[in-house]
Structure 1
Amino acid sequence: MLNYNHLRYFWVVAREGHLTRAANMLHVSQSSLSAQIRKLEHQLGHDLFERRGRGLVLTEVGQIAFEHANEIFSTGDQLLRRLNKDADDVRHVLRVGALATLSRNFQISFLRPVLGSKSVEIVVRSGSLADLLGALEAHRLDVILVNQVPLRDSATNWTAHIIDQQEVSIVGTPARVGRLRDMSKLLNEHPIILPTADVGFRNGFDALVERLNIQPEIIAEVDDMAMMRVLAREDIGLAVLPPIVVTDELTNGRLIEACKLPNIQESFAALTLKQRFPNPALDALLKGVRE
């Protein structure tokens, strides 16, 4: 029969991707943890991990074993939560991944319903899309927040939930914008701060200026919305971005929205795995979005 204690040790190591962290979490020595995993590998007849640098990466068989282990232990957690649904000390950990360049205001807006909740602990990690998707597929994240939905194919096992669609505007300091609201004059007469080409709405902007035969002076191309916010605030030029990025500055008057760009929007989405037992905290957030 399968030794479920060995399986649990393997599951924790696979989830953490690091032997030392897993050993500390399980309160066992690294040598003992390694021995337990070797016994599981011997029983299954396959290696479950391969070393890459200082980390551990699942083999193909390891990924299969992890998926089964995740379902087994998630089922156990569901059982405990169901039997203790009225207990005050039930806490859910919500592990959120966000693109390093994503608007912090958007992240806060999405997480606001659970911020400060005594029943939810939030862990937020930022990184590249490739790294975050890898962590999602390895079940080390519950959700990824993005502003551009990546292409899918028949092998894709995640689902994209569109959370919001924001119109894109030209914003700048009151001194620079003044009373000017004409889009063409704004783009022709002032230096422009743009996102890089890999940001979702950049293609729409490029098509717009080409259609209008405008050649704006691009003073900066930035892949970080927080940096665009700073450059606009420092009056380096006019910034092209969704107003949610500069909510605070628009509220206190340091920046103003000169005009909206026609038919250009940025989509914000949450990527999740298709799971039989989704994280209850995440499920509540997505339900709120749908409603």
Structure 2
Amino acid sequence: MSTSFNYKHLYYFWVVAKEGGISRAAEKLDMAVQTVSAQVRELERSLGYALLKPAGRGLVLTAAGQAALQQADQIFQLGEDLPTKVRDAVSTPAVRLAVGICDGLPKLVVHRLLLPVIAEPNLRLLCHEGGLDDLLGDLALHRLDIVLADRPAPANPNLKLYSHALGSTTIAWYGTAALVAEAGSNFPDCLATMPLLLPMAHTPLRERLDLWFEQRALRPRVVGEFADSALLKTFGASGMGIFPAAQWAHDDLLAHYAVQRLGPCEGVTEHFFAIGTEKKVQHPLVQRLLQPALQAA
């Protein structure tokens, strides 16, 4: 490949543009002002367009200069990345897994779901949290390998997605020792008078909890609603209120938070799904995530 300009000249121009003037660029490059100016003029000559023009006491980019700067930014950014790319190419390759995590999915459950792959040598795990719709969009664009959610993917004629059941867990009520003691033995009727922390409205778990309250003619005293399950548990552990949590993560919950189990939320179950773009999963780590569910089936 031949070029009509010198990349060294382009680099000097790039520094001039970044520094806002030839004098500052010369100081940064530890070169004479005349040398830097001559290099930029050589670039302009080879391209056939003026890249800089006088403006007051300084210089500004012309339209051609702005276009040249945009290209130079990309060129020299690639150059800065080159040593890392080369080092990564000759080192032990990482096994990459990009996982989307639906907000509201219990973080302790997420950790448990990912346990089958965490011990993978040279694993590079990328976790992205967000709303289900946004995550599914990233999945369709192949920015994610899999999405973990508390519900299957909704029907969408524009997206070909497959939901794989990972399992389910019952729910129980937890709180600090003081709140559990205050609740006494009158469970679950005590939940009508105790302060409660709940997931946000219209989430799958919240809808099941609302139905659970309705079936028992309980009117809960909700003092906090949270989109993030870890935040809900943090406030629950501070004593703000009684809160629901997956019994699947009971041991981890007690180990990480200073709380106790008040009682079961009978009949309420939380389900977990892995959503992907393939009916027959190809990614080896995703296959490993699905294996426990496949064996149970």
Do these two structures clear the TM 0.5 threshold for a shared fold by scoring above it?
Answer: yes
Kindly report which structure 2 residues correspond to 1:254-273, keeping only aligned pairs within 5 A, or say none.
254-273=258-277
Please point out which of 217, 220, 227 is paired with 2:221: 217
Q: Using a 3 Å threshold, how does the CA distance of structure 1 residues 153 and 183 change in structure 2: closer, same or farther?
A: farther
Larger deviation: 270-279 or 128-137?
Answer: 270-279
- Equivalent in 159, 163, 166 of residue 162 of structure 2: 159
Is the deviation greater in 124-133 or in 147-156? 147-156
Q: CA offsets, 1:159-188, max 9 Å, x none?
A: 111112111111111121128344333212
Give the drift of 1:190.
Answer: 0.7
Report the secondary structure of 1:219's partner residue: strand
Q: Which residue matches 2:175?
A: 172
* Structure 1 equivalent of residue 112 of structure 2: 109
What secondary structure does 1:170 align onto?
A: strand
Taking structure 2 as the reference length, the TM-score comes to 0.63
SS in 2 for 1:130: helix
| Structure 1 residues 277 and 160: CA distance shift in structure 2, 3 A | closer
Unpaired runs of 5+ residues, structure 2, are 1-69, 81-90
- In the aligned structure 2, how far is the partner of 1:181 from the partner of 1:157? 50
Contact 2:153 2:161 survives alignment (8 Å): no
1:234 to 229, 238, 246: 238
The answer (yes or no) to whether the contact 1:188–1:214 under 8 Å persists in 2 is yes
**AA in 2 matched with 1:167:** T
2:204 alignment partner in structure 1: 200
Is 1:282 the counterpart of 2:286 in the alignment?
Answer: yes
SS of residue in 1 equivalent to 2:184: coil
1:126 to 126, 129, 137: 129
The whole-number CA distance in structure 2 between the counterparts of 1:193 and 1:209 is 14
The separation in 1 between residues aligned to 2:152 and 2:185, in whole angstroms, is 32
Sequence identity (%): 21
Q: Distance in 2 between matches of 1:236 and 1:227?
A: 12
What is the alpha-carbon distance in structure 1 between the residues aligned to residue 161 and residue 100 of structure 2? Answer: 14
SS at 1:236 equivalent: coil
| Paired residue type of 2:126 | V
Q: Which residue of 2 aligns with 1:64?
A: none
Residue aligning to 2:102: 99
Deviations, residues 116-140 of structure 1 (Å, cap 9, x unaligned): 4224321111122121111100111
- For 2:196, the aligned partner's letter is I
Larger Rg: 2
Shift of the 252–269 alpha-carbon distance from structure 1 to 2, 3 Å rule, reads closer
Q: Give the RMSD, CA atoms, in angstroms.
A: 3.0
Contact residue 162 and residue 279 of structure 2 kept, 8 A: no
Q: Deviations over 1:4-51 (max 9, x none)?
A: xxxxxxxxxxxxxxx99xx68x9579xxxxxxxxxxxxxxxxxxxxxx
Give the 5 Å matches for 1:24-35.
27=78
Contact 1:181 1:259 in 2 (8 A): no
Change in CA separation of 1:224 and 1:189 when aligned onto 2, cut-off 3 Å: same
Q: What's the offset of the Cα at 1:273?
A: 0.8
3-state SS of paired residue (1:183): coil
Deviation at 1:115, TM superposition (A): 1.4
Partner of 1:13: none
TM-score (structure 1 length as normaliser): 0.64
CA distance in 2, matches of 1:91, 1:252: 30
Give the structure 2 partner of residue 11 of structure 1.
none
Aligned to 2:34: none
One-letter code of the match for 2:267?
N
